[in-house]
Amino acid sequence: MIEINNISKNFGQVRALSNCSLKIADKAMMIIAGGDGAGKTTLLKSIIGLIIPDRGQVLINGQLPKTQKKYFGYMAQQFSWYKNLSVDENMILSATLYGMNKDEAKENCARILKFVGLYQFKKRLAGKLSGGMKQKLALAAALVHEPKFLLLDEPSTGVDPVSRQELWELFQQVNEQGTTVIITTPYFDEVNYCREIILMNNGRILINSSLADLQKQNKGFNLEDIYFKLTEKGE
């Protein structure tokens, strides 16, 4: 269980998060949608302890995030693996960073590369992969230590529609295997892939609901329409 208790974060004059509270149950498949600068990345980084809120607290199973690092798999918004290393070498590096021994690392890397469909490209330099394949490598690297919580920051931004569909299928499979999955997106149509929906704007949480409830309450549910209605009202 992830508990976010009334957190706020400023960067100088910019209020990135404003009194955000949220509970994320184990095995949730949650999407955090919002436009540029809404606070999605700051919220994600606060959950994994990369950012410490100015006020409020994040608890992971009742503990501070910094003590729970081994349970997180995190995929940053920018591709952050080594372009001059092969797919395989990047995977081994990730496994090593998570403290896995050589045999365990080798076995997990092969299994996860097969899962994301990159096993046959394991000798290819990361820099030579297509955009969608780079995202699959970043996903594989985040999964290598079998995390309980997988957090993905805008994983489908700039990815072609076919690869985007493939990525979403992978995220859903990871969730079906029991991992809590939390994904940010600027694409409002992607909320339909998830069960729990958060809508953010200006550092605040405007909507915290299940997809099923939103569909029940709004005929012909379209998050974009709801977003514009709420933000026109100045929320």
Ligand X SMILES: Nc1ncnc2c1ncn2[C@@H]1O[C@H](COP(=O)(O)OP(=O)(O)OP(=O)(O)O)[C@@H](O)[C@H]1O
Residues at the site binding ligand X, with contacts judged by CB under 6 A: 11, 14, 16, 34, 36-42, 154
Q: How far is the CB of 150 from ligand X (least distance, A)?
A: 17
Q: How far is the CB of 206 from ligand X (least distance, A)?
A: 13
Minimum CB distance to ligand X smaller for 31 or for 112? 31
Minimum CB distance to ligand X smaller for 33 or for 150? 33
Q: Which two tokens stand for residue 74?
A: 């995190």
Minimum CB distance to ligand X smaller for 36 or for 103? 36
Minimum CB distance to ligand X smaller for 34 or for 118? 34
Q: How far is the CB of 209 from ligand X (least distance, A)?
A: 19
Rounded Cα distance between 187 and 177, Å, is: 25
Which helix (H) or strand (E) segment holds residue 33: the answer is strand 29-33
Rounded Cα distance between 51 and 18, Å, is: 14
Torsion-angle region of 195 (φ positive above 0: left; ψ -120 to 50: alpha; else: beta)? alpha
Minimum CB distance to ligand X smaller for 57 or for 157? 157
Q: Which residues contact residue 7 at a Cβ distance below 8 angstroms, ignoring those fewer than 6 apart?
A: 17, 19, 20, 21, 46, 53, 55, 56, 57, 58
Q: How far is the CB of 218 from ligand X (least distance, A)?
A: 23
Rounded Cα distance between 137 and 90, Å, is: 8
Q: How far is the CB of 115 from ligand X (least distance, A)?
A: 27
Closest alpha carbon to 118 in 95, 136, 138? 136
